[in-house]
A and B are shown apart, each in its own frame.
Chain A
Amino acid sequence: MDIFYDAATKVKCESILNWKKSGKPVVGYTCSYAPPEIFHAAGILPVRLRGIETDGTDIADAYFGPFICSFPKCILQLAGKGMFDFLDGAVITPGCDSMRRIDECWRKAGEDHDGIVPPFFYYFDVPHKSEAHGMRWFKNELKLMIKAIETHFDVKITHKGILAAIKKFNIGRRMLKEIETMRWAKDVVVSGTDVFTATIAGAVMPRDEYNQHLKQWLSGLRRRKKSLSKNKIRLMLAGSASDEINLIRLLEENTGAIVVAENICFGIRAEGNEIDEKGDPIDNLAKHYMDQSVCPRMYGKYKERLTSIKERIDRARVDGVVMQNIRFCDLHGAENSLYERDLEAAGIPCLKLEREYGPRADSGRMKLRINAFLERIDAKSNQKSTEPLSVSA
């Protein structure tokens, strides 16, 4: 777990630094719609770009306007401070409007801060729809990016190589899926904080190393007996992108709650499904990344997402859903409200939270709301069991 924790909480983690020592390149990417398998196939370490360990956004604020999500601002802040100096490349994706503008802001910051823009700086244009022509576009984007990587890094990316990468990533995906299944049990043996940490580590660690450590951790989990979920409220965390362990910790350190599921872009949502290993690997990557419509950036697919979140809630026996959105994240903000309407109607308590990412996160404010939410769920379950009212768990 230590290596996962290191990878999840440090921008320059051991795993990346060790990889760098071997002289092999590292490329950062900004969105779960960009497939790391392609980089792996090129012998490059794909690292999901994050905004942890920031203490302000002064550099980023010089380029981004005031009405912009703090997540990309924190990424740019790290870039500006030279914290991404291990990157040989970066891939920017129009995941949302705040994120896509890291492209210009980073390049422009490079005019003021020497050497902060990686030599390979690439814009990967992901469409907002997965219908036939959207899929065609995405496949072409994959091919164009492969070509660009091949040219820049002087490597060859073969179908065989991509397939091998898919297989390797699938090994990790299968293990994460098993861990996810463990969280569905009545007695959960692993904390949400730990699972989240392990998942995030997977977005930055070299895959071989990650699979090996995950295997070890999993075998330990299989032997665990002690229930961590007894008399605890089972929560799901949903909403805007988050890679902050502290967010889950805030929920779990809090009295009697355990996080048993996530529906966010860094969590198991994206990592829990395998990619088809038969047939054309580009087609399979496209199908996996484009067809799921898991993010509200895929407009008009709310019903599909509602069905999916409900399934997750049922499977993990969730008592309440904490839905957060980073301020100015309109996509999750609006969708959280739709979820709240529909899930509350189905008897599932929901808490909507607007928050900031990184240094401006206001945990006191959040804590008040989370406490009250847990008290609400508690009062509800106490009423059901007609026990005398207890105020805190």
Chain B
Amino acid sequence: MRPEIKEYNYDRILGQTLSAAARFPAGSDKETELTYRYIPYFKGVLKPLIDTGVPGKIFLELLALYYENILTAHARGKKICGTTFCYSPAILYAMDIVPATFEILTALGGMVWKRGMFDYMDFCCEVGMPETSCSSQRGFLGAFLAGLCEEVDFLVCDSPGVCDTNANAYAFSSAYLNKPFYQLNYPSSIGDERSQKYHVDDYKEMIRFMEEQSGNRLDYDRLAEILKEVDLQDHLTADLEDLLMLVPSPLPPLYNLMIYAGRFCFSGQKIYTRVLEAMLKWGKNRAKTGLSGLRSGDEKLRIFTCYIDHYTVNLNFWNYLEDRNFGHLGCILSRNFRDDNKYVKNLPGSAYGIDLSTKDAMLDSMAQLNARMPMVRTIRGPYDKPGMWLDESLELVRFFQADCVIYNGTPGCRNTWGMVKPFARDMEKNGYPTHIMNDDAFDDRVESWEATKERLDEFFQVRGLL
């Protein structure tokens, strides 16, 4: 790693940037436009967010708060838990522990900084992680391994059984830095009694581990409050999804990112509710006009990304969607699989409910919710088994009336790379043109954005989608 990068903490720099960004929209439109000229690099991310109106503004506050929580955690006597995006942080909030989610922290740096997270990613390789391991963790992980962030006190991941490369990043850092580590492990099945019980047994063990690490007992009153908020957020998300099902969809592509990023950062916290409410309000108004949520108002194509989205510098992918007038119907990260969602009806065992009646019921709700987090739910088993990736994707493309399917990931996604070709073939058989992107969602050095864009354009053209 370059010596000058070792001179500052990654999270502090990015936190300061985002906290400035959160105050940014306070000026008049003219002032805002002028200020953009002074922040040529950051503008690429900031402007699209600000352009989404109130939701974008609250979302920026949310991101700033996320960093502030991390940066002030120890001063406030709290412990920081390093964790992963597919792990619900609601339980951490219930236990007064501050989450530091590696993938979120990687994605933000990658989008905001011109050079992306390259230096930090490479640092992981310098200390021995294979370059084939997932870039989504390797970004922030580099800062963590180099000691360039607020100290993470312990690690919890829920990817064993779901994603080796993800789990391996946490296991490696635990061994490398000698940090306490708990792995939530998932079987390849879901919904049956045996799997449900395994979820709960494992989750209870994890609570014991976290109580030991944080010195805090799980406060069930607090958990009840948080679950109530999660319940509200789930229903707001369902309302947003109803809008997304409309043709044209009145929601801007970026709302998808805001829905899941907000959930990964602040599930069960009021600030995330505010983002959802603002998006819903905006979306409902837009729906009345009959226009699409795209800036142009015109939706030429409805895209469903069956895995993750693309997060490199300047929100390239998202701006591409706007430029081409492509509506975005969400990805594997967007859906929460709450039991009263429309799309779960034909996917038995795929959903969770929220039950606040007893302590055990609450714990069970959290355990089952976590077992339905993105990736954890969908790619834990063979893709073509009932309720898994193929069934789920087919159900979603039908509900959201997608025109085509895009697979995007990272070369580290061993688990999906092992099945995406047959998966795509099956999607095609069902009538959905499916494109597999060979890039890295977090690292333009694997395939430059220019090349990625060209391949996307080629797909839409060759398949006659435009």
Binds B, one of A120-128, A166-174, A203-211, A308-316: A120-128
Q: Which of A72, A333, A341 contacts B129 (CB 8 A)?
A: A333
CA distance A98 to B413 in the complex (A): 10
Q: Report chain B residues within 8 Å CB of A64.
A: 417-418, 421
Evaluate whether A334 and B185 lie within 8 angstroms (CB atoms) in the complex, with A96-B414, A104-B384 already known.
no
Question: How many residues does chain B have at the interface if contact means C-beta atoms less than 8 Å apart?
Answer: 50
Residues 170-194 (chain A) with a chain B CB within 8 angstroms: none
Does B185 contact A134, Cβ atoms closer than 8 Å? yes
Q: Contact string, B164-187, partner A, CB cutoff 8 A, digits 1/0?
A: 110110111011100001110101
Evaluate whether A299 and B167 lie within 8 angstroms (CB atoms) in the complex, with A125-B187, A137-B187, A328-B132 already known.
yes
Q: Which of B161, B168, B171, B384 contacts A127 (CB 8 A)?
A: B161
Q: Report chain B residues within 8 Å CB of A302.
A: 171, 174-175
Q: Output the nearest chain A residue to B178 by Cβ-Cβ distance.
A: A303
Evaluate whether A327 and B132 lie within 8 angstroms (CB atoms) in the complex, with A299-B160, A300-B174 already known.
yes
Residues 146-203 (chain B) with a chain A CB within 8 angstroms: 160-161, 163-165, 167-168, 170-172, 174-176, 181-183, 185, 187-189, 194, 198, 201-202
Does B132 contact A133, Cβ atoms closer than 8 Å? no
Q: Report chain A residues within 8 Å CB of B411.
A: 66-67
Does A65 contact B164, Cβ atoms closer than 8 Å? no
CA distance A130 to B459 in the complex (A): 46
Q: Output the nearest chain B residue to A125 by Cβ-Cβ distance.
A: B188
Residues 75-128 (chain B) with a chain A CB within 8 angstroms: 127-128
Residues 95-132 (chain A) with a chain B CB within 8 angstroms: 96-98, 100-101, 103-105, 107-108, 123, 125, 127-129, 131-132
Does B412 contact A133, Cβ atoms closer than 8 Å? no
Does B382 contact A103, Cβ atoms closer than 8 Å? yes
Q: Report chain B residues within 8 Å CB of A98.
A: 414, 418
Question: How many residues does chain A have at the interface if contact means C-beta atoms less than 8 Å apart?
Answer: 53
B130: CB under 8 A from chain A?
Answer: yes
Q: Report chain B residues within 8 Å CB of A101.
A: 415, 418-419
What's the count of A-B pairs with C-beta under 8 Å? Answer: 146
Q: Report chain A residues within 8 Å CB of B168.
A: 296, 299, 330-331, 334
Does B421 contact A334, Cβ atoms closer than 8 Å? no
Does A62 contact B183, Cβ atoms closer than 8 Å? no
Q: Report chain B residues within 8 Å CB of A340.
A: 128
Does A97 contact B175, Cβ atoms closer than 8 Å? no
Q: Which of B132, B170, B181, B413 contacts A333 (CB 8 A)?
A: B132
Does B205 contact A97, Cβ atoms closer than 8 Å? no
Q: Report chain A residues within 8 Å CB of B134.
A: 330
Does A338 contact B418, Cβ atoms closer than 8 Å? no
Does B187 contact A127, Cβ atoms closer than 8 Å? yes
A58 CB to closest chain B CB (Å) equals 13
Q: Report chain A residues within 8 Å CB of B176.
A: 338
Does A300 contact B181, Cβ atoms closer than 8 Å? yes
Evaluate whether A338 and B175 lie within 8 angstroms (CB atoms) in the complex, with A64-B417, A133-B205, A327-B132 already known.
yes
Q: Report chain A residues within 8 Å CB of B416.
A: 65
CA distance A157 to B160 in the complex (A): 31
B383: CB under 8 A from chain A?
Answer: yes
Q: Report chain A residues within 8 Å CB of B382.
A: 103-104, 123
CA distance A225 to B182 in the complex (A): 51
A227: CB under 8 A from chain B?
Answer: no
B438: CB under 8 A from chain A?
Answer: yes
Q: Output the nearest chain A residue to B200 by Cβ-Cβ distance.
A: A133
A343 CB to closest chain B CB (Å) equals 12
A250 CB to closest chain B CB (Å) equals 22
Q: Output the nearest chain A residue to B413 by Cβ-Cβ distance.
A: A67
Q: Output the nearest chain A residue to B170 by Cβ-Cβ distance.
A: A299
A30: CB under 8 A from chain B?
Answer: no
CA distance A50 to B423 in the complex (A): 25
Q: Report chain A residues within 8 Å CB of B413.
A: 67
B313 CB to closest chain A CB (Å) equals 23
Q: Report chain B residues within 8 Å CB of A68.
A: 414, 417-418
Q: Which of A133, A140, A338 contacts B172 (CB 8 A)?
A: A338
Does A337 contact B127, Cβ atoms closer than 8 Å? yes
Q: Which of A72, A297, A330 contacts B132 (CB 8 A)?
A: A330
Q: Report chain B residues within 8 Å CB of A94.
A: 161, 188
A sample of 27 cross-chain residue pairs with beta-carbon separation below 8 angstroms, ordered by A number, consists of A63-B422, A65-B436, A66-B411, A67-B414, A97-B164, A98-B418, A100-B188, A104-B383, A104-B418, A108-B422, A123-B188, A129-B202, A134-B185, A299-B160, A299-B168, A299-B171, A299-B181, A299-B183, A300-B171, A330-B132, A331-B168, A333-B129, A333-B133, A334-B133, A335-B172, A338-B128, A338-B172
Chain B interface (Cβ within 8 Å of chain A)? 127-130, 132-134, 160-161, 163-165, 167-168, 170-172, 174-176, 181-183, 185, 187-189, 194, 198, 201-202, 205, 382-384, 411-422, 425, 436, 438
Chain A interface (Cβ within 8 Å of chain B)? 62-69, 72, 94, 96-98, 100-101, 103-105, 107-108, 123, 125, 127-129, 131-134, 136-137, 140, 296-297, 299-300, 302-303, 325, 327-331, 333-338, 340-341, 354
Nearest 3 CB-CB pairs, A to B? A337-B128, A101-B418, A65-B417
